[in-house]
A and B are shown apart, each in its own frame.
Chain A
């Protein structure tokens, strides 16, 4: 029963990686389009990344 748990956590973390990558891409594109709004965009991106990151930690704790 140990192996499926670890694989599941790994899959969840891959998902989180894709998610944070998507947020980063979106933020960079938005800054490229509107450099003036870079401050607002960056703050929003960091908050969103922090929220998505929580899922990775939930997965890590589920394994333990």
Chain B
């Protein structure tokens, strides 16, 4: 009797472990980029295989010429795709070169040693970025036109966006960059703000894309800020880095390497901040949703549902806040770059 009870307990424990593992896998699958746009998946009751609902995206590979096929051919890693004499297989979200049977080879540490072709696919993130860019282009060009037609007065959705544009100009650009120079940075700052904001909000939608929580995307954004800062910088900026005025001469060579390091740390922190905030938000939300399935009773599950609701609301705030902070800090860095010598 006792034995059977403990056996049942152990079995339950085992089942719980697999559920937790499944949730962990699900969360990690969600935060990573993928080659297809799957909205949700179910399990086939008989075979236990996953069935995905969504649509495929094009795969573009550079491997002795351009290879092009739809990701539905890969069938979530189950099938091997043949393209002009070479075979490809999807393995843990990455495309590897393989043979006809789809054999994967591993080294002693268990890492895959198959060759990886240069992957320029339109992945989920790339697709979302293109979508948001197109949306922004259409929205803001039509807004600009509506001003011309309507005697310079905002109408329709412009009434919502005008205060935000004014806020970025009056609260971010002018105080941090200065009256004289702010105009040439405005277009970038506005693009940056709306791009990050829209992508963050898209990430919170049930589409389940995680674009700004991808370090490659935030690296790209931070790289543009870095290039603009350093390419538009004036003499004063470089003088403050390599030969800091106003400090004793013996201190100047000591300060130069620190200041030079700061040039790289600033965009690096921008990159990490946005990436980590959004990624952490997504993981917390998904883990709390996973708790519903772990509790499996009314009190625990409804509690975690309420928690998910509140965290979602906080994430909407974070989406705006992170876009604001990225824009504000970029503007501050531009401000350092064009500062006039006033002492």
Measured CB to CB, the residues of A under 8 A from B are 39, 43, 46-47, 50-51, 53-54, 57-58, 60-61
Contact = CB atoms under 8 A, between A and B. Distances in A.
Q: 3 nearest interchain CB pairs?
A: A57-B276, A50-B325, A54-B269
B272 A57 contact: yes
Nearest to A46: B325
B171 A47 contact: no
17 contacts: A43-B171, A43-B328, A46-B324, A46-B325, A46-B328, A47-B328, A50-B273, A50-B325, A53-B273, A54-B269, A54-B272, A57-B272, A57-B276, A58-B272, A60-B280, A61-B272, A61-B276
Nearest to A51: B269
A58 B280 CA distance: 13
Contacts of B324: 46
Interface string B147-187: 00000000000000000000000010001000000000000
Interface of B: 171, 175, 269, 272-273, 276-277, 280, 321, 324-325, 328-329, 332
Given A47-B332, A54-B273, A57-B277, 20 more contacts: A39-B171, A43-B175, A43-B328, A46-B321, A46-B324, A46-B325, A47-B325, A47-B329, A50-B273, A50-B325, A50-B329, A53-B273, A53-B277, A54-B272, A57-B273, A57-B276, A57-B280, A58-B272, A60-B280, A61-B272
Nearest to B322: A50
A56 B213 CA distance: 16
A49 to B, nearest CB: 9
A22 B10 CA distance: 48
Nearest to B332: A47
Interface of A is mostly: helix
A10 B63 CA distance: 46
Contacts of B332: 47
Contacts of B329: 47, 50
Contacts of A47: 325, 328-329, 332
Nearest to A57: B276
Contacts of A57: 272-273, 276-277, 280
Nearest to A47: B328
A54 B276 CA distance: 9
A54 B325 CA distance: 12
Contacts of A46: 321, 324-325, 328
Contacts of B325: 46-47, 50
Contacts of B175: 43
Nearest to B269: A54
A43 B329 CA distance: 11
A57 B215 CA distance: 13
Contacts of B328: 43, 46-47
